[in-house]
Amino acid sequence: MTVKSVAQEAQEILLATDMIRLGARLQVLQAETSLSYDRLARLYREVKGCSPPKGMLPFSVDWFMTWLPNIHSSMFYNVYHYLDSYTPAKKSHALVEAYRLYLEQSDAGRQRGGAEDEPVLSFTRAWMLLRFFDSGMVQLSHCVRCKGGFVAHAHDPDHDFVCAICRPPPRAGKTRSHRAQKLLV
């Protein structure tokens, strides 16, 4: 076992603090840092002013395939993938940066829409999505019409894949699909 330096620990605390502010659950912090459960729980209370929520993480691949979550998740994942591949921000740092950008974009969409609510994609779900990619449960399929990359079930045939924006379900309605389209531009 290697001894952790103070500087290393300080960096992990900063990363954990960023993730708590963005809404990360304790299980996410445990997976992404080597800080102890007790220290993380204490940090969580300091940052949030309340105890971390208990219970299971949302574990559903299918959630990412429903219409609006799929559009939000795909936008987030494309940003994450770009940051992780082409900038110094890697893995958990790319996750934090990509999620910040996602919030900025979805906030802009919300102001236009006027509704005050939680972002469609929570930080914890964004993290779960990356785990699903890592474990090969989902893939990025490219739409034959707009060429955009979208989250899809792994091994789904994608030679004639059409995305949720190019072919919204009938219930999506005109205004909502129009707003989603603006979100991706």
Which residues sit at the interface with Zn ion, rule CB under 5 A? 143, 145-146, 163, 166
Q: Residue 43 or residue 143: which is nearer to Zn ion going by CB?
A: 143
Q: Residue 99 or residue 150: which is nearer to Zn ion going by CB?
A: 150
Q: Residue 54 or residue 147: which is nearer to Zn ion going by CB?
A: 147
The rounded radius of gyration (Å) of the Cα atoms in the chain is 18
* Orientation of helix 6-21 relative to helix 37-48, angle to 10°: 50
d(CA 166, CA 24): 32
Closest approach of Zn ion to the CB of residue 183, in Å = 13
Closest approach of Zn ion to the CB of residue 121, in Å = 19
d(CA 138, CA 49): 36
Closest approach of Zn ion to the CB of residue 182, in Å = 14
**141 pairs with which residues across the strands?**
150
Q: String of b and e for 20-58 (b: at least 16 CB within 10 Å)?
A: bebbbbbbbbeebbebeeeebbebbeeeeeeebeeeeee
Closest approach of Zn ion to the CB of residue 105, in Å = 18
Q: Residue 75 or residue 143: which is nearer to Zn ion going by CB?
A: 143
**8 A C-beta contact, residue 109 and residue 182:** yes
Closest approach of Zn ion to the CB of residue 58, in Å = 26
Neighbour count for residue 102 (Cβ, 10 Å): 25
Q: Residue 41 or residue 162: which is nearer to Zn ion going by CB?
A: 162
